Structure 1
């Protein structure tokens, strides 16, 4: 499995925008999550973001919050997620990026946490409640274990802060397209184009846009504005939580293929 940086390097040589689907581990169950990772991997995903269910998900909208609640109610815990990832990751082409809040990392300690996720095959990490000022040691320990920590730029970030985040972020920069939580929206805000231009003038690192992208048209829009990746979460989580696991897997496979087609079409 490639690293996050290597994946983006390959995509750049092909002048291709990455598709990064997000799903919540353990919803509806970990067996379905394992199958979903393989379905996404074989239907056009370039990287996959896997959310660890958490009891107080500050950055997540109602769809992902509900998925995390269902997963927790079924008893899904970080160790179970990593056991599943360790079994599935050798068969995946896509690098896996884990999405978790900081408390589980703090509880385990940096060395133990990064040792465990690296051993399971995780290549990247997104921690939405990790402020830049506290990220130094996390980035250092992560790098020692071969895990790239992706930092987030918010629409409200100042130019100085954008430059500081761009310097520190590993793998790619996660541009949050809205002020608020994740969720499906009818259109991507024009402010995203300005933010992309602002970031692009600061760094040559890849930029992924997330929060609010829910259709092939919106994914294509952020690509046309200059994004290196479209990150799609709630729309996948919603489809996977279908009437049956089989129906959900079919739905996310079809949707993934549609999104990727929109990103590669001339």
Structure 2
């Protein structure tokens, strides 16, 4: 059996291979432990087999700032099951080999500090974590974790908002690894009915200043959204809708949503 080396290089190689094949990237978001820790690995496997390019794994946290109602409820369900960051890392250390797709942790800075920055990065590397999204860690503060993260070779993915100045967009794009997470709406996560027509120009600018793929996230909830946004982005990230479909055990719609990228 070939040994896989996870981390930043694995994430970037997977995404670039997808783009070079003329395909679009689809990254579903799940809340680790929603439904209990026993469901975590089977859920990752289900999304992997359904065609996810990579998988974003939310870490349950008591005070989320970027999450909408659906993801907050999923986090509460996971916490009610007693799921913690160490539990998630421990199970991945044992079971990571069962999932081919790169795995990205979406967490806040507080759980990382509580864990211990150096120990977290070391354990995340052993667990096969390829990337990190930390919404409450501003670009100016990334040095707080940079050395340990670089030693672990884990990508730090940056979020860029619609309201950022062009100068700041360029700084964020230059700092982002793996991909650039382009927020498509002003506000928190959650399903939306439609997107602003000016997004095309916005993504054109982001792609012109980014050396990594530019993905659209926040509010993406239908196959039509996926088709619309992938016209001018390299792919999409879908959270709240994925969580709802998993909660409803609606595998048919789940597969249709992922296949809309093709």
* TM-score bracket relative to the smaller structure: over 0.9
Q: Does 1:202 align with 2:209?
A: yes
Contact 1:44 1:256 in 2 (8 A): no
Question: In structure 1, which of residues 46, 56, 59 is the aligned counterpart of residue 53 of structure 2?
Answer: 46
Question: In structure 1, which of residues 160, 169, 173 is the aligned counterpart of residue 167 of structure 2?
Answer: 160
Aligned positions of 1:1-266 closer than 5 A:
1=4, 3-225=10-232, 227-242=233-248, 248=249, 251=250, 253-264=251-262
Distance in 1 of aligned mates of 2:157 and 2:252:
28
Alpha-carbon shift at residue 208 of structure 1 (Å): 1.1
Runs of 5+ consecutive residues of structure 2 not aligned to the other structure: none
Contact 1:188 1:213 in 2 (8 A): no
Contact 2:19 2:25 in 1 (8 A): no
Distance in 2 of aligned mates of 1:173 and 1:235:
21
Alpha-carbon shift at residue 255 of structure 1 (Å): 3.2
Runs of 5+ consecutive residues of structure 1 not aligned to the other structure: 243-247
RMSD over equivalenced CA pairs, Å: 1.4
Count of residues in Structure 1 that have an aligned counterpart in Structure 2: 255
Which TM-score applies when normalising by structure 2?
0.93
Contact 1:19 1:259 in 2 (8 A): no
Of 196-205 and 152-161, deviating more is: 196-205
Alpha-carbon shift at residue 33 of structure 1 (Å): 1.8
Alpha-carbon shift at residue 240 of structure 1 (Å): 1.8
Distance in 1 of aligned mates of 2:45 and 2:60:
20
